Structure 1
Amino acid sequence: MSERLQTLQSRLELYIACESAILDGAQEYSIGSRRLSRADLGEIAKMIGYLEKEIATEKAKTGGGGRNRVLGIVPRDY
């Protein structure tokens, strides 16, 4: 497994854990008179989608089915 793929997968796991924490009610909290807000759930969902696409692209590259595959074409004039 490539280093980039490992990095992407570990980042995806962190984002999923973060999303889970927000869904469990950790979006906002207060300490005394201060009210603190964590990351936006919409932004986290976008990043999860982005990371999933990047992981799929990286797996396709290592599997030989990526976008950069070369095909041989022979032009013919009839």
Structure 2
Amino acid sequence: MTTPAHPDETQSQRLASLEEHIAHQANTIEELSDQLAEQWRVVEQLRSKVDRLTERFLALEEGALEAPAITRPPHY
């Protein structure tokens, strides 16, 4: 195995590569965090709509007339 002629150059290249990798990861984490926050807002909106629809359904159900009893038609 040969040793590099300039070991400092190799270390600085490795350091630059690691810094670049970290910068990409930090950017990805920030994007994922933004997407998660947006999805949470959507979930909260949907939860609110479901709650309102449930309340409306229950109110309509309370106001509905009782179903008529099942009886034989008069022609029997």
TM range (shorter): 0.3 to 0.5
Q: More helix by proportion, 1 or 2?
A: 2
**TM-score (normalizing by structure 2):** 0.35
Tell me: higher relative CO, structure 1 or 2? Use CA pairs within 8 A at least 6 residues apart.
1
**TM-score (normalizing by structure 1):** 0.34
Q: More strand by proportion, 1 or 2?
A: 1
